[in-house]
Chain A
Amino acid sequence: MPMRIARLSLLACCVTLPAMAQRVPLAAGPGKDTVEGGCATCHSLSYIPMNSHFMSPETWKAEVTKMRAAFGAPIDDDAANEIIAYLVANYGAPPK
């Protein structure tokens, strides 16, 4: 019985996911490597484009701060500033 369940679950994964690891190509730019190294430790990079159209510099900063303060992301101040600058430049709301 457990074997059958395992196969069904695996099948469900294949049906629902185009691939086991989602590729999220990020925009080229300064800080991209830091973003990929820092953020992708814990979650896929799809969270970045998912939110991009609305994010002001303040909201991107708040998100990065939350990842460090609440979730313990091992990102120092310099890396955090680099990440925020990259996100604002490449995935921020268009200027009003």
Chain B
Amino acid sequence: MIQLSDRPPNLESPIQTFRASITSNDQFFVRYHLAGVPDMKALDGWKLQVDGDAAERSVTYTQQDLNDLPQTEVVAVCQCSGNRRGLCEPHVPGVEWGYGAMGCASWHGPRLRDVLTRAGIKGEAVEIWFNGADHPVLDATPRFHKSLPLSKALADETIVATSMNGSPLPLWNGFPVRLVVPGWTSTYWMKHLTNITVSSKPIDNFWMKKAYRVPAGMFPVSKPFPTQDDAATWPITEITVNSLIAAPISGEEVERSGFTVRGVAWDRGHGILRVEISLDSGNTWQDALLDRDLSPYAFRAFRLDTGPLPRGPAELRVRATSNSREVQPDVWKANPAGYHNNVPQRLTVKVV
């Protein structure tokens, strides 16, 4: 792992991780805003509280209670809103992520909808609010609380995950329970989930109103978040279509008889229609072969056997098209916080 900071822990997966469509738990990126990260001892006796002014009643869940609800599984990409921020032009201050602030896992647990049903949702509910066990160092720092619109909170794909790739969640990926919001960036995937609030009011805090905003209408969304929109900005929500070559890597020597290009493509839940690869700096493009579809929210693995190439440097590029016909843009749609950088990746290899 590539460590960007230790307090709070921010760790990026190396690019070779993405030669597979499932990211292993020990290679999964870690992102925290606040240095008050709970340890296993602090999570001993963990419980999940569901209540709120728009809940019919208050319910407390233990892990066993969650296991007793109907279970489901979803393979989905968890990607930081700021993935590739460090590659943005012009530069944007923040955690300077490269390509690896993302991963794809098989998440298992009850649907959020079923967790909420026991508490009962009153007609006046407009948002579901979430809180986790991590906390700021100072009381004056806003706690990391987030919310979802009912349309996403009640969706089939949104789950309260109690396991990841068949194992308990690693501590830094949200043990014991993490919210999983397929198709949406990981700012909503609350780790160490402790509180769910069914609310008749939109949440009003730094992490929703000031941070994690994008210019209104700049990026496509299927499930809007109207209670958090204002005239100029919307909350960031759905992932933009993207792709990554994980083999070969930049600077690698490859054979003139040909080599295999491998990587993954993903989007906000429509699934991947096409992955194109250029071996000549974007002059010509050819379609990669796609592996099977694990889920519309998952990494879709691709490969291309190049055939013979002339000796010397070769610039590779990759671009994906989703089933909703969204294509990676040639130029980054610049926004103040450095989100959604899905410009086609370029890398140069040396044909020997």
Contact = CB atoms under 8 A, between A and B. Distances in A.
Contact of A46 (B1, B5, B91, B172): B5
Between A6, A21, A55, A59, the greatest number of chain B beta carbons within 10 A of the residue's beta carbon is seen for: A6
Interface in A48-65: 50-51, 54-55, 59, 62-63
A74 interface: yes
Nearest to A93: B91
Interface string A1-30: 010011011001101111011100000000
B218 interface: no
Contacts of B139: 72
A72 B6 contact: no
A22 B7 contact: yes
B93 interface: yes
A54 B5 contact: no
B26 A17 contact: no
Nearest to A18: B3
A44 B7 contact: yes
Contacts of B224: none
B210 A70 contact: yes
Given A50-B96, A51-B93, A73-B138, A42 B35 contact: yes
B93 A71 contact: no
Interface residues of A, number: 32
Given A70-B206, A71-B141, A54 B91 contact: yes
A12 B193 CA distance: 21
Interface in B1-42: 1, 3-9, 11, 26, 30, 34-35, 40
B138 A5 contact: no
A63 B94 CA distance: 9
A72 B137 CA distance: 10
B168 interface: yes
B26 A15 contact: yes
Nearest to B30: A16
A43 interface: yes
A2 B40 CA distance: 9
Between A41, A42, A59, the greatest number of chain B beta carbons within 10 A of the residue's beta carbon is seen for: A42
A44 to B, nearest CB: 4
Interface in A71-93: 71-74
A69 B4 CA distance: 24
B171 interface: yes
B311 to A, nearest CB: 34
Contact of B35 (A16, A43, A55, A62): A43
A42 B142 CA distance: 13
A21 B40 contact: no
A16 B175 contact: no
B136 interface: yes
Contacts of B11: 16
A42 B40 contact: no
A75 to B, nearest CB: 11
B296 to A, nearest CB: 30
Contact of A50 (B95, B138, B168): B95
Interface of B: 1, 3-9, 11, 26, 30, 34-35, 40, 44, 91, 93-96, 136-142, 168, 170-172, 175, 206, 210
Given A2-B44, A59-B93, 20 more contacts: A5-B175, A9-B171, A9-B175, A12-B26, A15-B1, A16-B30, A17-B3, A21-B7, A43-B7, A43-B35, A44-B5, A47-B95, A50-B4, A50-B5, A50-B95, A50-B96, A51-B94, A54-B93, A70-B206, A72-B139
